[in-house]
Chain A
Amino acid sequence: MSGKPKIDYHAPIYLQLRELIRAKIEEGEYLPGMAIPSENELAEYYGINRLTVRNAIDALVAEGLLKRVQGKGVYVCVVTDEKIERDLETLGGFRQTIRTKKARPSIKILTKAQRPAGTKYARIFNIDPKDMVYYIKRLDYVDEEPVALEEIYLPYQLLPQLEQIDLSVFSLYEVYDFYGITLKRAWQTLDLKKLEPSDAQLLHVDPGRVVLLFTCISYDENDRVIEYSRSYTRGDLCNFTVHYHR
């Protein structure tokens, strides 16, 4: 007989803890994108050795069910059969390449809050103006240099409890995965834009210069608008390439 070995009270403690955490994830006590309690907290709560806790967590990290983030904690992931990094680049369209090699990307969330949709976003998302939307403003860095300032709008109803998810740890594409949302297509436009002085400063752009403004509306398989975003990107650090064929 194949299958999981039965875990009972005779089993090593680290295995018991591993299965306990797995069960909490499956039952939804620990939700995708959320941090689980720290190793110290778990060790103290269950009265076990910290190394034992680490062993249990390591096993789940190896399985891909948990993700360890340096200096932050351990987060719940979703294991899908095909783990693809979903980037708009894989949808085709503008391919953005950073000019420096060995680039280390990181994200800093500046604002993550709810606001009423108001008339404009109510139209975009086809919701009531009083319905809430998430507003996320963030800076994308490469090698500690800011390359893009992004403003992202998401409808609250489609992504409840987004506040629990650390967006500097998970990409929005991973988040959509957690909610079972698959982006199907997007419409992107490109303009040139002069930034407000305060935003120019955030992006280390000379106030007299312009940035590339990508506006993007993303749709899921049911043709619902999932995301509306504006990305102000520095042209001096990025290249944009498009391939097309008949």
Chain B
Amino acid sequence: MANEYRIRPREAAAEQIECYILEHELTAHAKLPSEREMYAMWGINRTTLRSAIRRLIEEGVLYNRMGSGTFVSPPKLTRNLQDIKGFSSVARSAGHVVSSRMVRLGVREASKQIAQKMHLTLGHKVLEIVRVRIIDQVPVLLETVYLDTERCKGIETYDLANLSLYSILEKDYGIRITQGVENLNVTYTDKEEAELLEIPEGTPVFYQTGVVFDDQGVPVEYFKSIARSDYIRFASELTR
């Protein structure tokens, strides 16, 4: 190729730092060398280093603690979208302490949107479950779930803040969830969402909606989630 791309010094510095973390197998909350040490190792000037570190902080790779230095951020919780496992089992298998807080639990009549998604008639009674999911004491996900009250009679009596909805459905209601379709995009938190997730109003977050189906192809659940992008990342394995 005729032209050679000149890597911007800040980019090179950021790549260097990312590599240092990998090569030295620095784990979550490990302290990064000081700017002076990095200068000695790589000869990158301080302004460039600072700007690279700032970028990595913005990308969530590093975090800063006033006066004590720069540290490696804990990895985000990765939710594989092909994985049918619920939020809590994914988080638990990644070694997190998971809990939930019930925000709202009650019966309402299906709106047009809920009715269409769940193949129900308008006004059909649905159970609305609104929970904040918490990992390691940080509220990361605000989830609203709708279930058909006729199919899930009495499910509101379970301890839904702590038990897995999918396993209750499977064990006690004989409903086996086998497939789903989800939509993902970005939104900005309103006042209530911001308060529940303990972040400023207007913070960009993931907005996820979806329907899951049983093995007969009947919709079981319609859900809407608001997920904090500083703690959660979505992933997908593509195969042929």
Which residues of chain B have C-beta atoms less than 8 A from A64's C-beta? none
Residue in A119, A121, A163, A194 whose beta carbon sits within 8 Å of that of B1 in the complex: A163
B164 within 8 A of A: no
- Note all chain A residues with C-beta closer than 8 A to B81: 93-94, 242, 244
Most buried by A among B1, B12, B180, B238: B238
Contact with A along B28-72 (1 / 0, CB 8 A): 000000000000000000000000000000111000000000000
Q: CA–CA, A90 to B207, complex, Å?
A: 24
Given A94-B236, A120-B18, A187-B237, do A115 and B58 touch, yes or no (CB 8 Å)?
no
Structural contact, B179 and A243, CB atoms closer than 8 A:
yes
A235 to B12, CA, bound (A): 29
Residue contact A235 to B186, C-beta cutoff 8 Å: yes
Which of the residues B4, B16, B181, B186 comes within 8 Å of A113, measured between beta carbons? B4
Is B26 part of the binding interface, using a Cβ–Cβ cutoff of 8 Å?
no
Is A88 touching B238 in the complex (CB atoms < 8 A)? Answer: yes
Q: Are A244 and B2 in contact (CB under 8 A)?
A: no
Chain A residue with Cβ nearest B186: A235
Which residue on B lies nearest to A117, using beta carbons? Answer: B15
CA distance A88 to B217 in the complex (A): 26
A residues near B158, Cβ cutoff 8 Å: none
Looking at B4, B5, B16, which has the most chain A CB atoms within 10 Å of its CB?
B5
- In the complex, whether B206 has a CB less than 8 A from a CB of chain A is yes
| Chain A, 74-113, CB within 8 A of any chain B CB | 88, 90-94, 111-113
Contact among B22, B58, B82, B239 with A242 in the assembled complex (CB-CB below 8 Å): B82
Residue A162 at the B interface, CB < 8 A?
yes
Asked whether any CB of chain B lies closer than 8 Å to the CB of A10, the reply is no
The answer on a CB contact under 8 Å between B181 and A194 is no
Query: With A192-B229, A210-B204, A242-B82 as given contacts, are A91 and B238 in contact (CB-CB < 8 Å)?
Result: yes
Main secondary structure of the interface of A (DSSP, over half): strand
Assess whether B239 is in contact with A184, with CB atoms less than 8 Å apart: yes
Q: How many A-B residue pairs have CB under 8 A?
A: 137
User: Out of A111, A118, A188, A210, which one reaches B238, CB within 8 Å?
Assistant: A188
- Sort chain B's interface into a size bin: 35 or more
Closest A residue to B16 by beta carbon equals A119
Interface centre among A88, A113, A163 (most CB of B within 10 A): A113
Chain A interface bracket (under 10, 10 to 19, 20 to 34, 35 or more): 35 or more
Is A185's beta carbon under 8 Å from chain B?
yes
Q: Check if B116 is an interface residue, CB within 8 A of chain A.
A: no
Nearest-CB distance from A28 to chain B (Å)? 20
How far apart sit A115 and B16, CA to CA, in the bound complex (Å)? 15
Q: Is there an interface contact between B22 and A244, defined as CB atoms closer than 8 Å?
A: no
Q: Is A204 part of the binding interface, using a Cβ–Cβ cutoff of 8 Å?
A: no
Contact (A183, B235) CB under 8 Å given A123-B19, A212-B185: no
CA A211 – CA B12 in complex, angstroms? Answer: 23
Q: Chain B residue with minimal CB distance to A97?
A: B183
Q: Are B179 and A244 in contact (CB under 8 A)?
A: yes
A206 nearest CB across to chain B (Å) = 12
Cβ of A157 under 8 Å from chain B: no
Bound-state CA distance A246–B170 (Å) is 14
The 5 closest A-B pairs by CB, nearest first: A113-B5, A245-B179, A91-B238, A120-B15, A163-B1
Interface pairs (23), CB distance under 8 Å: A91-B238, A93-B236, A93-B237, A94-B184, A118-B7, A118-B12, A120-B15, A120-B18, A163-B2, A185-B240, A187-B236, A189-B233, A189-B234, A189-B236, A191-B76, A191-B233, A210-B186, A212-B186, A235-B185, A235-B186, A242-B183, A244-B180, A246-B84
Q: Beyond A120-B16, A188-B236: 18 further Cβ-contacts under 8 Å? A: A88-B238, A92-B236, A93-B81, A94-B81, A94-B236, A112-B1, A113-B3, A114-B5, A115-B6, A121-B15, A187-B237, A188-B238, A209-B204, A212-B184, A241-B181, A242-B81, A244-B180, A246-B179
